């Protein structure tokens, strides 16, 4: 082993050695395999050098360390035993460093996350700059992992069982002040230049330091696992963990297991337990899915992977928004927040002002919480100009139309706007269902016409679906992606289809929920099973939120309604509920649920009577499969029909657009998660029983027959090359 000088170097500063981490090939230091071996090598050289009295670890980057190198984990780990042995070897080396008798001090100048914190926990003393923007913590659980460098054991050792478990299970990132309070770090200094002197002072005063876990007199704050409090924490922790995760996230369960099992034994054996569960976690399907979709996929999307590469960057200084309803108001806020000048138009100036008031309320809240200065808030609001005059769209770089979902109305405003908008500028529609190609017929410049589909509430939902019409050209696509990147949201680019990708697949979820209800599955059971499988909201509750009347309207305006038996069935049931029973949705206080003034919503009791609900109608597993498989089958059709440009787009869109569970990787990876053969067999059986909506496309059957993964699917369609 040798030290990789492109990762870290060290030099003497008097009798103290300073290891400086400065990863030359990345923007930040990463806890990679190469880093670990370089660090161990450097530490051992310094431990064996008698003239070295102490070792300081610092970073030359703005962060101390960002955590593990997740790119290294994209490929599956096939040899568990080899992985485990490497982990055990790492712990052995780390333990030798801890017990060397020489003081190690970590100087935290910036974010110290994941492996970075574990590196710091290996040191006997941790000093951070007291900058509230610095984040210190182990967020591994968010990518389906557990801290595998000793953190799962050491964090509860220092913070106590309750707080330590919370930090691990939530992946909490602490400010230096909070980290100091919770004993994760030992000292804070005011300025970065104070770090080294403080470290040297500590080294001078603390030769032969001992870690808490090596100190027989040390007691875990609040008591260990077998203390009466500890037992309560563990038992209640398990109950609450299932409440939150429904057992779908092995990382979380394994964190609990490591803490429970590990804190009862000496540290070396505890780290061995951690290593065994780390191996189990990192080789889980769930971890791979979460890394692939939740980290690598979203990171790439945010960097504009979907953008046509040869197009120059499209600058948007001034953005026009047509329609100041809920969507327009939200779009105005996020755009002004990103520094754009916004022209917000509605039929009346008052209507537009009402839309701006949404931004006023939001910034007020942010200022109140200390998350925004009054100056920044004022500046943001001053960038939103309200109007009722279509001529004010002149000079905009892009116009986003967010008027009512009516093709005629949309055609009218398109024409009005194009009369004043420069010919080379982009016109986008925020429609959620109407085909862009259809809307573009009203445009004189369909090549610059594109769909930019936001989700509600705009300021909270991270995904934006960009829809390419038949005649939309690359320049418009690049512009739309550039815009979405500018407002720091996640763009996916899809081809035109009714409902595009997200609305189309999401619609199958609510529709299947309705069919299950229609067939006699008790409504509570449908809702609970959906949540148990990780859907954030049950299909009936979410239908209420969207509104049953809106759903009716969308179906009625679909020219294919008569031809589509499944949609017709949905339409008839919804119509019956709306028209015969007045169940219109949440806004009206009466949908699938009742919404009492001062209480939790409850399933409308009469539903069970109308649909003759019976617990014995169907087994839980079938209900669960119908709710999830149906979404995935539709996602696959989108892929197969060329609506989606890549599998990962489908995964990202499902997870961030309508809350498909991330443990499965997203609606498409879910097919692999279930097992492709199983998925196809289930759908075939469902087709037999429940009808043609379960027909499996031949291409999926072929993939299954060839023993392949969904990620082996070869994408066709006009954008395939661009995003490949």
- Which tokens sit at 143? 């990518």
- Kindly determine how many residues on this chain lie close enough to bind another protein according to the rule CB under 8 A: 31
- Binding segment toward another protein, per CB under 8 A, in 188-196, 235-243, 640-648, 715-723: 235-243
Nearer to another protein, 235 or 347 (CB): 235
Q: Interface mask (CB under 8 A) for another protein, residues 261-300, using x and -?
A: x---------------------------------------
Distance CA 335, CA 676 (A): 42
Nearer to another protein, 583 or 637 (CB): 583
Distance CA 682, CA 670 (A): 13
Nearer to another protein, 240 or 709 (CB): 240
- Which tokens sit at 445? 């410049």
Q: Which of 362, 529, 546, 710 binds another protein (CB under 8 A)?
A: 529
**Residue 220 interacts with another protein (CB under 8 A)?**
no
Measured in whole angstroms, how far is the alpha carbon of residue 593 from the centre of its chain? 29
Question: Which residue has tokens 């974010």?
Answer: 111
Contact indicator for 46, 55 with CB cutoff of 8 Å: yes
Q: Which of 60, 244, 379, 391 binds another protein (CB under 8 A)?
A: 244
Q: Catalytic residues, which ones? A: 453
Scanning residues 22 to 51, which ones bind another protein (CB under 8 A)? Answer: none
**Residue 532 interacts with another protein (CB under 8 A)?**
yes
Question: Which residue has tokens 């909201």?
Answer: 537
For residue 127, whether the previous peptide bond is cis, meaning omega lies within 30 degrees of 0, is no
Distance CA 438, CA 560 (A): 15
Nearer to another protein, 253 or 510 (CB): 253
Q: Which of 12, 72, 201, 235 binds another protein (CB under 8 A)?
A: 235
Distance CA 92, CA 113 (A): 22
**Residue 611 interacts with another protein (CB under 8 A)?**
no
DSSP assigned state of 581: H
Q: Which of 525, 590, 662, 700 binds another protein (CB under 8 A)?
A: 525
- Residue 163: CB partners within 8 Å, gap ≥ 6? 156, 182, 221
Nearer to another protein, 253 or 417 (CB): 253
Q: Interface mask (CB under 8 A) for another protein, residues 681-720, using x and -?
A: ----------------------------------------
**Residue 596 interacts with another protein (CB under 8 A)?**
no
Q: Is beta strand 449-454 parallel, antiparallel or unpaired with respect to 463-468?
A: antiparallel
**Residue 240 interacts with another protein (CB under 8 A)?**
yes
DSSP assigned state of 697: P
Contact indicator for 485, 458 with CB cutoff of 8 Å: no
Other Cβ atoms within 10 Å of 257 Cβ, number: 20
Nearer to another protein, 228 or 707 (CB): 228
Radius of gyration of the chain (CA): 28
**Residue 566 interacts with another protein (CB under 8 A)?**
no
- Binding segment toward another protein, per CB under 8 A, in 50-58, 210-218, 231-239, 331-339: 231-239
Q: Which of 12, 226, 265, 422 binds another protein (CB under 8 A)?
A: 226
Distance CA 417, CA 514 (A): 40
Nearer to another protein, 225 or 667 (CB): 225
**Residue 234 interacts with another protein (CB under 8 A)?**
yes
3-state helix vs strand vs coil in the chain, percent to 5: 55, 10, 35
Distance CA 140, CA 27 (A): 20
Residues that bind another protein (CB under 8 A): 225-226, 231, 234-244, 246-247, 253, 256-257, 260-261, 522, 524-525, 528-529, 532, 602-603, 615, 620
């Amino acid at each position: 082993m040798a030290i990789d000088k492109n990762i870290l170097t060290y030099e003497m500063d008097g009798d103290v050695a300073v290891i400086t981490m400065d990863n030359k090939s990345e923007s930040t230091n990463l806890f990679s395999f190469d880093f670990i071996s370089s660090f161990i090598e450097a530490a051992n050289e310094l431990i064996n050098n008698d003239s070295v009295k102490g070792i300081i670890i610092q970073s030359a980057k703005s962060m101390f360390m960002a955590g593990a190198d997740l790119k290294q984990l994209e490929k599956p780990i096939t040899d568990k035993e080899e992985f485990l042995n490497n982990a055990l070897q790492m712990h052995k080396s780390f333990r030798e460093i801890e017990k060397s008798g020489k003081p190690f001090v970590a100087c935290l100048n910036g974010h110290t996350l994941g492996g970075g914190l574990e590196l710091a926990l290996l040191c006997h003393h941790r000093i951070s700059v007291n900058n509230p923007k610095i984040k210190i913590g182990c967020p591994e659980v968010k990518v389906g992992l557990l801290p595998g460098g000793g953190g799962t054991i050491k964090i509860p050792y220092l913070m106590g069982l309750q707080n330590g478990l919370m930090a691990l299970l939530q992946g909490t990132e602490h400010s230096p002040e909070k980290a100091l309070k919770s004993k994760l770090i030992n000292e804070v200094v005011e300025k970065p230049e104070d770090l080294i002197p403080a470290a040297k002072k500590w080294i001078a005063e603390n030769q032969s330091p001992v870690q808490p876990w090596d100190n027989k007199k040390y007691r875990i704050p609040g008591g260990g696992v077998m203390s009466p409090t500890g037992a309560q924490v563990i038992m209640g922790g398990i109950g609450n963990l299932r409440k939150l995760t429904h057992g779908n996230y092995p990382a979380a369960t394994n964190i609990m297991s490591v803490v429970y099992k590990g804190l009862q034994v000496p540290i070396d054996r505890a780290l061995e337990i951690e290593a065994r569960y780390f191996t189990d976690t990192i080789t889980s399907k769930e971890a791979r899915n979460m890394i692939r979709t939740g980290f690598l996929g979203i990171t790439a999307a945010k960097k504009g992977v979907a953008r046509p590469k040869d197009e120059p960057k499209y600058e948007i200084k001034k953005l026009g928004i047509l329609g100041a309803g809920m969507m327009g108001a939200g779009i105005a806020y996020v755009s002004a927040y990103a520094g754009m000048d916004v022209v917000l138009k509605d039929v009346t100036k008052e209507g537009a002002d009402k839309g701006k008031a949404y931004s006023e309320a939001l910034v007020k809240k942010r200022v109140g919480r200390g998350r925004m200065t009054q100056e920044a808030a004022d500046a943001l609001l001053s960038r939103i100009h309200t109007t009722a005059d279509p001529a004010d769209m002149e000079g905009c770089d892009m116009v986003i139309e967010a008027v009512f979902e009516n093709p005629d109305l949309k055609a009218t405003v398109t024409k009005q706007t194009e009369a004043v908008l420069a010919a080379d500028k982009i016109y986008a529609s925020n429609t959620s269902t109407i085909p862009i190609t259809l809307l573009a017929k009203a445009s004189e410049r369909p090549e610059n016409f594109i769909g930019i589909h936001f989700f509600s509430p705009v300021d909270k939902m991270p995904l934006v679906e960009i829809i390419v019409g038949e005649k939309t050209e690359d320049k418009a696509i690049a512009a739309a992606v550039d815009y979405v990147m500018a407002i720091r949201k996640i763009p996916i680019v899809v081809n035109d289809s009714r409902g595009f990708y997200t609305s189309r697949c999401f619609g199958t979820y609510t529709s299947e929920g309705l069919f299950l209800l229609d067939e006699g599955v008790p409504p509570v059971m449908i809702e609970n099973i959906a949540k148990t499988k990780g859907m954030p909201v049950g299909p009936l509750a979410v239908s209420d939120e969207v509104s049953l009347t809106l759903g009716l309207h969308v179906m009625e305006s679909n020219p294919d309604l008569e031809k589509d038996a499944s949609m017709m069935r949905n339409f008839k049931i919804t119509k019956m509920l709306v028209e015969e029973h007045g169940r219109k949705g949440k806004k009206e206080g009466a949908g699938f649920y009742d919404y009492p003034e001062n209480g939790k919503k409850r399933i409308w009791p009469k539903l069970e009577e109308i649909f003759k609900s019976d617990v014995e109608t169907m087994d839980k597993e079938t209900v669960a499969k119908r709710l999830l498989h149906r979404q995935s089958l539709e996602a696959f059709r989108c892929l197969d029909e060329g609506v989606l440009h890549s599998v990962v787009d489908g995964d990202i869109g499902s997870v961030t657009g309508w809350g498909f569970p991330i443990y499965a990787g997203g609606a498409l990876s879910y097919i692999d998660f279930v097992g492709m053969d199983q998925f196809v067999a289930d759908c075939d059986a469902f087709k037999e029983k429940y009808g043609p909506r379960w027909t499996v496309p031949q291409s999926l059957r072929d993939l299954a027959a060839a023993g392949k993964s969904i990620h082996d699917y070869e994408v066709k369609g006009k954008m395939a090359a661009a995003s490949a």
